[in-house]
Amino acid sequence: MTQEEPAKDEKVVFFTSSSQLEKIDNFRFNNRIGSRAEAVRKLIDIAIDALCEKKKPSQPYDADMLIAAELQSNYGEKTKRQNKKKS
């Protein structure tokens, strides 16, 4: 653990849909994140930073990571459209 990285001493358990879990996993793999938990933490950080006005991100996000997060919201719709075209 680095000096900048806070301790991970709180546990949060939640239920999610399979489609949301697929989006989390896609974000994880697209950004080469080591674990699903770390991907969820990064997505939470991105969302909080995006919602807080005038607050700079707590960590630098490269353009690819932000684009991947943005694309995740449309992932299911694109897949449905692609499947319809194949039919």
pLDDT digits (tens, 9 = 90+) for 1-55: 455 777 888 999 999 999 999 999 999 999 999 999 999 999 999 888 888 855 5
Which distant-in-sequence residues (6+ apart) come within 8 Å of 19 by Cβ? 76
Distance between CA 27 and CA 13 in Å, rounded?
20
Query: Given this model, what pLDDT does residue 24 score?
Result: 95
* pTM metric for this prediction: 0.56
- Pick the closest to residue 72 from 48, 43, 51 (CA basis): 43
Under 8 Å between Cβ of 31 and 47: no
